[in-house]
Amino acid sequence: MNITVVCDVLGEANNGTTIAALNLIRSMKERGHNVRVICSDGNRKGQDGFYIVPTLNLGPLNNYLKKNGVALSRPVTKTVAEAIDGADVVHFMTPFSLSRKAIRLAKKRQIPLTAGFHCQAENFTSHLFLKDAKISNRLFYHCIWGLAYHNCACIHYPTQFIRDTFEHTIRRETPGYVISNGVNKAFHPEAVERDPKYDGKIVIQFTGRLSKEKTHKVLIDAVALSKYRDRIQLVFAGIGPLHDKLEKRGRKLKNPPEFRFFSREDLVKQLNMADLYVHPAEIEIEAISCLEAIACGLVPVIANSPRSATRYFAIDERNLFHNKDPKDLAKRIDYWIEHPEEKKALAERYRGFVEQHEYEHCMDRMEQMLSDAVKEQRYEKRA
């Protein structure tokens, strides 16, 4: 197939949408498909198959986006047209301006459209300080349905949770495919030499963008309440606009949290050094980062938030804590520190769970989804 992937956001692999896009692009190329990519990542200029457009200028919001490690793409009609001409299918990752331009041009050319659903309403409304305003979140879903998703032959939902949320809000069934973004085989248990700086410490890991919806502060506060607070070392893998605030909040701990951005190789090593993984995020579509930790042999403790799909990763009630409740989280942390044999047994039970999210299997299903869209279009033309 000739596949055009439209990326309003693409750059460093520091957010879930970019990682999902890069995985899809890489996987489809490996399967022998011709893949074109439209994005504003200037570092990819000249690379085969990449069509580069300018970055969208949002004035005072530019610095805020930069702190999040992302930049939005500005549509250029000529470039977008070149990238989609001759495509069998056009797949967009998010429903923003670049993708909407591609949608209009693809429809004129009768090229089938597919899309990924990687933007939860609260991911957008939180930037407007409206993440808890139900009417704003409902309006967001209705807008992106009308502006983008209603044009699609197939929609990729990373979890059943986000499909149910979207369809319930817009009050209609969509042509959805529930497919995990997949865990790369690089994430697995391995014997690593533990960094001497962790000698005598209990290492608790969380991977996620440093933003409000990830709720890092609950984990910091929970450690302050733990019986083992003097031994615990928090490690936050990620970047984001709340770095300074979280760093300040963490100073109350005997061992202030580490804030780092890890390459994949270094993250695998770090996860294999950790003792426990905690995912306190209140808002989450899938949280591949949690699955990656589980794949490395860690037992997770997850916020039981009604706005997070990650809670469904819990295979035992002891994997959950009350949402935004540092006292309850502290109890869970202390329990797993005090019961290492039970933690080891649960890690073994999680092995089968991770296999359901194996990367190659998920990419097989993505390939089938794209193929289904092409076949459906061809059938409609014959009819």
| Tens place of pLDDT per residue across the chain (383 aa) | 999 999 998 877 767 788 889 999 999 999 999 999 999 988 888 899 999 999 877 666 656 666 666 678 899 999 999 999 999 999 999 999 999 999 999 999 999 999 999 989 888 887 677 877 889 999 999 999 999 999 999 999 999 999 999 999 999 999 999 999 999 889 999 999 999 999 999 999 999 989 888 999 999 999 999 999 999 999 999 888 899 999 999 999 999 999 999 998 999 999 999 999 999 999 999 989 999 999 999 999 999 999 999 999 999 999 999 999 999 999 999 999 999 999 999 999 998 888 888 899 999 999 999 999 998 765 555 43
Residue 382's pLDDT is what?
Answer: 41
| Full-model pTM | 0.88
Output the pLDDT for position 38.
97
37/52 Cα distance (integer angstroms): 8
pLDDT at 287: 87
Closest to 64 in 3D by CA, of 112, 128, 10, 150: 128
3-class DSSP state for residue 110?
Answer: coil
Question: One fold for both 2-182+358-382 and 196-355?
Answer: yes
CB-side neighbour CA atoms (13 Å) of 252: 11
Domain ranges of the chain: 2-182+358-382, 196-355
Distance between CA atoms of residues 299 and 172, nearest Å: 37
Per the structure block, which two tokens stand in for 323?
Answer: 């949402």
pLDDT given for residue 70 in this prediction: 67
* pLDDT the model gives residue 198: 95
pLDDT at position 67, please?
60
Return the CATH architecture of domain 196-355: 3-Layer(aba) Sandwich (3.40)
Look up the CATH number of domain 2-182+358-382: 3.40.50.2000
As a whole number of Å, the CA-based R_g of the chain is 21
Report the distance separating Cα 170 and Cα 182, nearest Å: 27
Write down the pLDDT at residue 60: 62
